[in-house]
Amino acid sequence: MADTTTRRRVCILGATGSVGRSTLEVIALHPSRFEVFALTAHQRIDELADLCRQWRPRFAAVSGAAQADELRRRMAADDVRTEILSGKRALEELAAHPDVDSVMAAIVGAAGLAPCLAAARAGKRLLLANKEALVVGGALFMRAVEQGGATLLPIDSEHSAVFQCLPADRAAWHRRVDHILLTSSGGPFRSRDPESLHDVTPDMACAHPNFAMGRKISVDSATMMNKALEVIEARWLFDLQPEQVRVLIHPQQIIHSMIVCRDNSVLAQLGTPDMKVPIAYGLSWPERIESGAARLDFATLGGLHFENPDPRRFPGLDLAFDALRAAPGATNALNAVNEVAVGAFLAGTISFTAIHHVNAQTLDSLAARFGPQNNLDDLLDLDARAREAAQRLVRALAR
Ligand code: NDP
Ligand code: MG
């Protein structure tokens, strides 16, 4: 048993979400290894209050001051001594707190970028689920990781799979890898007639075949924009050229991704589709600990199926490759407009098929604004402009 005096102190950004909760499930299996130091949420304070009662973290944070007051009142009534903070700065402070060892970045969307940068600059062990932070921050983020001496561990299951297949020596990656194959379930509409997608509802889009996830990533899985963002994420994480990142549909999601080596040998990572596996690996790397996920039973698997994505059904994938080849800032804008479009679809304002329309058209209209993104302010400025442009189109398309 590990010594409790050397427990790793973990800050979970986005603790009330799907990845945040799975992280707590893994931590619950290893009380002698990990201590829950800080938990954050956006608005769901009932859920955060329950987690604070259960885990008694030193800090908790929410976005709004009024919600923080309410949470403080509840914690005092229950004699929970968690210190409650609020606002964006609070997330950055907790992510970079000197007593924190590991930061689980599980906020959804570009909102996760600033605390991720703070954790990277403070040299933390950074478990990155928040792919949007890397899509938005790209070069700036990777520089912060390098300069801060942070250890960046991918949590997205595909990127964790690639990471697990790569040699420990980073310098050998380029010599060894020809390209990587990111697998995708194809989402709930993989075999549906593309002509019939206009009328699908948010609940239909969120009914992922293998994973229960937050609603934003679920819609992204249905459009395959999730894979588009993952292509960009992989480009930065593994320092690859766009043509070295390929996508393959694999509905069973048993193979979580593969690397194709220079000699055409293929290495894959397999397991049941359960986020607890990459989370446990991120928490314990370079060791492996119990994850709580079910073990793969090959004899009952049936078959593994693969196909290329149909660009007619999933036009968003090409947007990622175009954005990677465009001027800096294009991937940042793509992420921002997609967040707006998905939000509008979830709110019932636009149709499912309009998501791509908003993404493609807004990105086109913004092309002249792309250029070097030297700091967080540059990134946030372009993010804001892209959101405004996407909102205008959403209003024009509103049903
Ligand atoms: P959820 O929607 O389930 O959870 C999101 C978390 O972020 C919640 O704790 C939420 O708080 C918090 N949050 C939302 N908006 C803000 C904001 N503006 N400021 C601060 N906190 C905020 O998302 P998931 O757990 O599904 O996904 C999290 C990230 O992990 C995403 O980037 C996703 O792409 C990635 N990912 C998820 C996988 C999955 O299986 N779910 C798999 C691989 C990657 P509140 O509850 O208060 O709203
Ligand atoms: Mg993924």
**pLDDT recorded at residue 75:** 96
The residues, ordered by sequence, that sit 6+ positions from 89 with a Cβ below 8 Å of its Cβ are none
How does residue 2 score in pLDDT terms, banded at 50, 70 and 90?
very low
- The pair phi, psi for residue 147, each rounded to 5°, is -70, -35
187 pocket-lining for ligand 1 (C-beta < 6 Å):
no
- CB of 14 closer than 6 A to ligand 1? yes
Determine if ligand 1 sits within 6 Å of the CB of residue 358. Answer: no
Kindly identify the ligand whose nearest atom is closest to the C-alpha of 130: 1
Separation CA 380–CA 137 (nearest Å): 10
Mean pLDDT of the region 175-198: 94
CA pair distance 242, 320, nearest whole angstrom: 9
For residue 157, pLDDT beyond 60: yes
Q: Would the pTM of this model clear 0.75, i.e. be above it? A: yes
d(CA 116, CA 127): 9
- Tell me the per-residue pLDDT of 83-123, one tens digit each, with 9 for 90 and over: 999 999 999 999 999 999 999 999 999 999 999 999 999 99
Question: 128 pLDDT exceeds 90?
Answer: yes
The yes/no answer on whether domain 8-154 falls in CATH 3.40.50.720 is yes
For 353-366, the pLDDT digits (tens) are 999 999 999 999 99
Percentage helix, strand, coil, to 5, in the chain?
Answer: 50, 15, 35
**Domain ranges (residues) in the chain:** 8-154, 166-272+303-397
Res. 3: pLDDT tops 70:
no
Question: If you measure from the C-alpha of residue 398 to the centroid of ligand 2, how many angstroms do you get, rounded to a whole number?
Answer: 30
Any atom of ligand 1 within 6 Å of the Cβ of 214: yes
Please say if the pLDDT value at position 4 is more than 80.
no
136 lines ligand 1 (CB under 6 A): no
**What pLDDT sits at residue 208?**
84
| Angle, CA of 108, 339 and 137, to the nearest 5° | 65
pLDDT of residue 5: 62
Tokens 């403080």, located at residue = 72
In the chain, the percentage of residues whose pLDDT exceeds 70 is 99
Q: What atom in ligand 1 is closest to the CA of residue 42?
A: 47
What region does 126 belong to: left with phi over 0, alpha with psi -120 to 50, or beta? beta
Question: Is ligand 1 within 6 A of the CB of residue 19?
Answer: yes
Cβ–ligand 1 contact at 185 (below 6 Å): no
Specify the higher pLDDT residue, 344 or 170. 344
- The ligand that comes nearest to the alpha carbon of residue 88 is 1
Per-residue pLDDT at 149: 98
* pLDDT tens profile 255-285: 999 999 999 999 999 999 999 999 999 999 9
- The fold of 166-272+303-397 is Rna Polymerase Sigma Factor; Chain: A (1.10.1740)
Give the whole-angstrom CA distance, residue 236 versus residue 223: 22
CB 160 within 8 A of CB 281: yes
Minimal-distance CA residue to ligand 1 atom 27:
108
Ligand 1 centroid from CA 217, angstroms: 8
Quickly state the pLDDT bin for 399 (edges 50, 70, 90).
Answer: confident
Average pLDDT over every residue of 231-242? 98
Q: What is the per-residue pLDDT for 114?
A: 97
- Give yes or no for residue 216 having a pLDDT over 60: yes
In contact, 71 and 48? CB cutoff 8 Å: yes
274 lines ligand 1 (CB under 6 A): no
DSSP state of 230: H
> Residue 159 CA: which ligand is closest?
2
Which atom of ligand 1 is closest in space to residue 157's alpha carbon?
43
Q: Is 198 exposed, middle or buried (0-12, 13-18, 19+ CB in 10 A)?
A: exposed
- Expressed in angstroms and rounded, the spacing between residue 226 Cα and the centre of ligand 1 is 13
Task: Read off the pLDDT band of 144 (50, 70, 90).
Answer: very high
Ligand 1 atom closest to 215 (CA): 2
* Residue with CA closest to ligand 1 atom 9: 14
CA-based nearest residue to 106, from 21, 225, 206 = 21
